[in-house]
Structure 1
Amino acid sequence: MGVSAALIVKDSERCLARCLDSIVDAVDEVIVVDTGSSDRTVAIIESYQNKHDHVKLFHFAWINDFSAARNYSLSKVTNNWVFIVDSDDVLPEQDQPKVREYVNRMNKKNEQAVFDIVYDNTVDGIITESISNGYVRLFPSELRYEDKIHEQISFGTLKRIQSDIHLLHDGYDINFIDLKEKKKRNLNMLIESLKEDNDNARLWLHLGREMSVVDKDKARRYLDIAETKAKSIELIKWIQRSKEDLN
């Protein structure tokens, strides 16, 4: 009834050791899925395997589908609960005991739920933005992801709880990341995904949000489409907030 961490990685030598250091003692198992690294990523994972029996490395051929890779990582988890991290995340030291605390609390009550974490975006090590909901990262390991990009966990009628676990994330720090290339990749993947799933309001929302830094008029048009297709109140509110951010 323990908890595993699961992460998918590719060419993550810049930040992977820092991430693994922050989670290796916080969980009972660490599942790392490499999706085709050409740098020292695999060597770094193997060095952790040599020191920690509960660190496990798997390989998955990248097919332009984040959910497929995430779901493969979930299929390798052997515990009932999973904590999702990315290689450019760090679990702060004061929050490391909290992962097991939340899981133990639920296990004692024999209950299931999904937990949002607080996502702290950083630049130069300084928190520039804290997002307190929208990032479900701790949940029962039998659940699975949907959507090829900006993937979301599908949790049905399970209760969704806001936790006080923080993750520090530097994936938008321009000192390390080419944001223009990242946006271009995301836009291309969203457009391709919508060819297969044109009625997916969440994909239209993300297309509008990604487009907002390139072309605000197109962004508004995509957000309007998202609103016409959205069925949940929560999603409609997110779309409306995104429209307000354009003004």
Structure 2
Amino acid sequence: MAITLCMIVRDEAARLPQCLASVAGVVDEAVIVDTGSQDATVAIARDWGARVYEVPWEEDFAAARNIALKYVTTEWVLVLDADETLTPAFAALVPEICQQSDWLVVTLLRQELGVVPPYTYVSRLFRRHPDLRFERPYHETIDDSVLALQQREPHWQIAQVNGVAIVHSGYLGDQRQQKQARAERIMRRYLEQHPEDAYLWSKLAGVYLARGDLGQAQQCLEQGLKTKTLPPAIAHELYYQQGNLYAERGEWPAAIAAYEMALGTPTPAVMHLATYLRLADAQKQLKRWGDALATYDRLQALDPTCALAYQNQGALLLRLGQVSAALDKLRQAISLLQDQNPAEAQRLTQELQAMGLLSP
């Protein structure tokens, strides 16, 4: 089955080549909507063979993505951003996935580099269908239209593939700040007309927490939690952000209670990684050392590749005077970090050497 890469871009000349290289041999064509690039983005896309359509930016990501969808002619659609790449392991699975006759959408696990939480699930591989469209001007998604279509045509299935499918490098420095300012502006405008959207209240709360505006964050979380029927994923996000709010205020028992509420939601275990990390931090603040160590154990069982879980547990064991056990955990952290974050692996190694705990 043929598949089209579908993108919206603006001034992504630095990152677009890597994204396109990751889908070479996977997609049959590419449709790229450019919303006003001033750099070489459009030339790079056209040189790669993409069909490029230039449209004005109207501060609505869903609208731009739907314009791109309009130009797709193949049976399947893969949606990526320029700062995302497809993993080789998942790329090898795509031909088989597209042969499934009753699959409408495939939910993909995306790894978020350099941020917490480190994983999210996104609906980025789906069949072209006239009733599937993106909604919400920010944190846009096809999920609402998928559920509506399933109600009318119940034979369609939503599938989920194990393993990381997309790696997201995100934004750095002033780009992140610019993104947050844009996010606040767009979400505020939308929520004025759609105050029942608990999902966007949780996302807007995250923006305010990152900025240190705790009062605004609390208002957003209270508004989101008013919703009578919360889908588990949105409930998890709201409780997680509520825990972060309490943690910022130093209200550690309340933070622990909120994180435990998040962990109690029936959501995929991989979504709980950040919550476990935050929970352990809160437990340490109350000197609940045993609870924190147990939380790190649960996190390592859930994701044996989470270097931060080993690193933080090792630091705690060292603090408690359990040097041998601490070094076991810290060596595991260094081993993982050599692939994930070489600079941090070197820093941690040098720190332990300076303490006389590792040989040069």
User: TM-score higher than 0.5 here?
Assistant: yes
Alpha-carbon distance in 1 for matches of 2:228, 2:202 = 9
* Cα displacement (A) at 1:48: 1.1
Q: SS state of the match for residue 53, structure 2?
A: strand
Q: Between Structure 1 and Structure 2, how many residues are aligned?
A: 232
- Give the equivalent residue in structure 1 for 2:321: none
Residues 121-200 of structure 1: pairs in structure 2 closer than 5 A: 121-123=112-114, 130-131=118-119, 133-142=120-129, 143-153=132-142, 154=144, 155-156=146-147, 157=150, 159-163=157-161, 164-174=163-173, 178-200=175-197
Q: SS state of the match for residue 13, structure 2?
A: coil
- Post-superposition, which runs of at least 4 consecutive aligned residues in structure 1 deviate over 4 A? none
Q: SS state of the match for residue 98, structure 2?
A: helix
- In our comparison, the structure showing a higher alpha carbon Rg is 2
Q: Deviations over 1:131-151 (max 9, x none)?
A: 1x4311111222111100111
Indicate the structure whose relative CO is greater, using CA pairs within 8 Å and at least 6 residues apart. Answer: 1
* Cα displacement (A) at 1:120: 1.6
Residue 85 of structure 2 is aligned to residue 87 of structure 1? no
Alpha-carbon distance in 1 for matches of 2:223, 2:13 = 39
Percent identity, aligned pairs only, is 27
- Give the equivalent residue in structure 2 for 1:60: 55
Give the TM-score normalised by the residue count of structure 1.
0.86
- Greater strand share, 1 or 2? 1
- Give the equivalent residue in structure 1 for 2:203: 206
Gaps of 5+ in 2: 151-155, 248-360
- Match of 1:239, as an amino acid? L
Q: 2:106 aligns with which of 109, 115, 120?
A: 115
- Give the equivalent residue in structure 2 for 1:18: 18
Residues 40-79 of structure 1: pairs in structure 2 closer than 5 A: 40-49=40-49, 55-79=50-74
- Match of 2:136, as an amino acid? D
Alpha-carbon distance in 1 for matches of 2:235, 2:113 = 28
Q: Is the 8 A contact 2:103 2:159 kept in 1?
A: no
Gaps of 5+ in 1: 50-54
* Cα displacement (A) at 1:230: 5.5
Give the TM-score normalised by the residue count of structure 2.
0.60
* Cα displacement (A) at 1:218: 1.9
Q: Is the 8 A contact 1:27 1:100 kept in 2?
A: no
Q: SS state of the match for residue 190, structure 2?
A: helix
Q: Is the 8 A contact 2:89 2:165 kept in 1?
A: no
Alpha-carbon distance in 1 for matches of 2:103, 2:109 = 20
Alpha-carbon distance in 1 for matches of 2:76, 2:21 = 20
- Match of 2:140, as an amino acid? E
Alpha-carbon distance in 2 for matches of 1:128, 1:201 = 20
